[in-house]
Amino acid sequence: MPVKVITTELGHSIPPEQPHNITFHIPGWETAKALRRGDPNLLSKLSSIYPRFGPWCEVRQLSTALHKALSLPETYGLIIFVHPDSFTTAQRYSSDGKWRKPEHLVPPSDLWFRVVEIPISSEDKVRLYITAFPQKHAPGVVGTWQNYGCGISSRLAAACLAHLDSLAILPFTATGADDVSLPNIPEPTYLPLTEAHTGLKSRIVELAQRSPLDKEKANLLSPENVFLYPTGMAAVWRLHNALITLRPEGEIVVLGSVFHNSYHLFEESPNGMKHFGSCDAKSNLFDELEKYLEGEKQKGGRPAYCFAEFPSNPILVSVDLVRLRKLADKYDFPIIIDDTIGSFANIDVLPVADVIVTSITKSLSGYANCMGGSLLLPPSTPLSPSLSPLLTTTFRNEYFHPDASLLLSNSQSYLARSATLNSNALSLATYLNSEAQDPSSPVKAVFYPPFLDTKPNYDAVMRAPTPEFPNPGYGCLLAVDFESLDLAKTFYDNLSVYQGPHLGAHLTLAFPFNDAIWGVEPEAAEYLKTFGANPEQVRVSVGLESEEELIDTFKYAMEKAKGEKKRLTSQN
């Protein structure tokens, strides 16, 4: 069949285009790299963006209005939160000389804090905590928005804009040189908890209890064991803070490839992280890990916790969770599993994880139009008696109820969509894997759980088939390695799918994840190559299109890459 032409303009969201969408189409390999560099020309063309990348659309409109209302200098920017601890977070982040470049450090007197109050309905008002900073130092501040994921959502911004005529500026001013801990700033309102939050928590428990590997543990779950946050990174951030409060003495052990914002969060934690990159079956992961743990034990120490994505993003390696659980029990450390890629429908990590963190923005939502993150803390874990009271007493709702309501609605089709995502991804990966076996093909390897040597580790936590979901699978994400960067670019630039970051959406998205995201950090990029996260790799989040359309689309791009390989070979 003819390859479908993408008609969406650069910078616009994938269809259907509407307010609050969280994707954007930026075709071309070099365009992706320009995004990571923050190219002003490209940014000026974006009508939509992934919200954690920075304030955009309605959030930018609200920022502009507040900038004027607060009479800030033209040289200043601002970011907006509903949690007042954003002030102390900004103080720490903007003055951290170990991790910030000198030119990005913000002099304390130039970091300003303000508080405003705006109605968001006829019944509720919200207090917003505003961090203002010189634009020339922006990279030294906006990381608190990007890495921690607690900035306000576009729907909350829209609600505030609708009531801007009732804006109240509180009589509070402070700088980075002041004590802005909670007792010294205006009392927060946070956001109201509603039936949407309760319903979404119940939905997550329902999915966690479906076809469980350990019925006894699953039956103990209740909505009170679920904590909701505005993004997946916010869930990671809030959990991280709770865990280092309980266990402040150790490093964070991180296994395999993880999302880059998570990586930076962990490495910048007070005691740092110990990263084990290679986690495939050929690695000596568990010998090295146990040697490290034994060494820490001999020194009287232990890890704060161990974090792993299952499987990992973007190389889809599945660490041996059963073996990891045995080490955790022996050396006394909690296991935190991010199951976003495998997803509730396919895998059950409850028997081995102390906490499960999920970006419910991805396939649970599935339509790329709202954000959310969740923590599931099983009462069966030994960590629960200490962590549950801490999370419960420190939890403050930052998740706007219209976002929660839409995500709950989207989740009703989750199992049906997951069945299609599994089937499409397996078919596409099977085709691409056949290319990897062909010497004339530019494909070097395919990263998808059934084609990797860690498949038994994934299968060990796969849910059993049920009538409503008869074919558990391996999820929507895969990656393709090419023989060279030139061949990868040729393939990608001829691939007629939507191009940009995000995964789990209804339409297929491709992105040169490693080269675009890590390419601006040469040392990190070299390190990632040591465990398979190569710059010549294209990450693909498979959507709900027909299998025939997907295969034909990828075959067309593959033929272009084969032609380029033949041309380059003939020149040598």
Pair type for strands 226-229 and 443-447: unpaired
Specify the CATH number for the domain of residue 357: 3.40.640.10
Shared domain for 214 and 299, answered yes or no, is yes
* Average of per-residue pLDDT across 498-504: 97
Shared domain for 203 and 332, answered yes or no, is yes
Shared domain for 157 and 202, answered yes or no, is no
Are the CB atoms for 160 and 62 separated by under 8 Å?
yes
Quick one: pLDDT at residue 93?
97
- State the DSSP string of 13-80: PSSSP-TT-------SHHHHHHHHHT-HHHHTT-S---GGGS--HHHHHHHHHHHHHTT--TTEEEEE
Within a domain: 368? yes
Within a domain: 388? yes
Last residue of a domain, one of 387, 411, 435: 411
Shared domain for 377 and 275, answered yes or no, is yes
CA distances from 221 to 201, 204, 227 (A): 11, 10, 13
> How many of the other CB atoms lie within 10 Å of CB of 494?
17
Q: Is 415 left (phi over 0), alpha (psi -120 to 50) or beta?
A: alpha
Shared domain for 286 and 213, answered yes or no, is yes
Classify residue 422 as exposed, middle or buried by CB count within 10 Å of its CB (0-12, 13-18, 19+): buried
Alpha-carbon distance 100 to 106, whole Å? 10
Within a domain: 31? no
Last residue of a domain, one of 411, 430, 445: 411
Quick one: pLDDT at residue 1?
61
Shared domain for 488 and 512, answered yes or no, is yes
CA distances from 323 to 173, 208, 289, 302, 326 (A): 53, 22, 11, 18, 5
Q: Is 96 left (phi over 0), alpha (psi -120 to 50) or beta?
A: beta
Select from 397, 371, 394, 360 the least CA-distant residue to 82. 397
Within a domain: 2? no
> How many of the other CB atoms lie within 10 Å of CB of 62?
24
Alpha-carbon distance 164 to 82, whole Å? 16
Kindly report, residue by residue over 529-565, the tens digit of the pLDDT.
Answer: 999 999 999 999 999 999 999 999 999 999 999 999 9
Alpha-carbon distance 349 to 472, whole Å? 14
Shared domain for 280 and 400, answered yes or no, is yes
Say whether pLDDT at 2 is over 80: no
Host domain of residue 455: 413-571
Kindly report, residue by residue over 411-457, the tens digit of the pLDDT.
Answer: 999 999 999 999 999 999 999 999 999 999 999 999 999 999 999 99
pLDDT confidence of 572, banded at 50, 70, 90?
confident
* Average of per-residue pLDDT across 472-484: 98
Q: What percent of the chain has pLDDT over 90?
A: 95
Kindly report, residue by residue over 279-293, the tens digit of the pLDDT.
Answer: 999 999 999 999 999
Are the CB atoms for 26 and 499 separated by under 8 Å?
yes
pTM value surpassing 0.85: yes
The number of domains in the chain is 3
Shared domain for 394 and 357, answered yes or no, is yes
Within a domain: 7? no
Classify residue 416 as exposed, middle or buried by CB count within 10 Å of its CB (0-12, 13-18, 19+): middle
Kindly report, residue by residue over 218-251, the tens digit of the pLDDT.
Answer: 999 999 999 999 999 999 999 999 999 999 999 9
Within a domain: 6? no
Shared domain for 480 and 506, answered yes or no, is yes
Shared domain for 146 and 254, answered yes or no, is no
Select from 453, 467, 460, 171 the least CA-distant residue to 317. 453
Kindly report, residue by residue over 166-210, the tens digit of the pLDDT.
Answer: 999 999 999 999 999 999 999 999 999 999 999 999 999 999 999
Quick one: pLDDT at residue 518?
87
3-class DSSP assignment, residue 256? coil
Show the tokens assigned to 442: 């530019």
Last residue of a domain, one of 184, 219, 238: 184
Averaged pLDDT score across all residues of the chain: 96
Kindly report, residue by residue over 334-369, the tens digit of the pLDDT.
Answer: 999 999 999 999 999 999 999 999 999 999 999 999
Q: Where are the alpha helices (DSSP H) in 227-284?
A: 232-246, 260-267
Say whether pLDDT at 136 is over 80: yes
3-class DSSP assignment, residue 218? helix
Are the CB atoms for 365 and 411 separated by under 8 Å?
yes
Specify the CATH number for the domain of residue 543: 3.90.1150.10
Are the CB atoms for 57 and 538 separated by under 8 Å?
no
Shared domain for 142 and 178, answered yes or no, is yes
- State the DSSP string of 434-499: HHHT-TTSSEEEEE-GGGSTTHHHHHTTBPPPBTTB------SEEEEEESSHHHHHHHHHT--SEE
* Average of per-residue pLDDT across 476-500: 98
Residues constituting the chain? 572
Within a domain: 14? no
Within a domain: 30? no
Quick one: pLDDT at residue 306?
98
Shared domain for 434 and 353, answered yes or no, is no
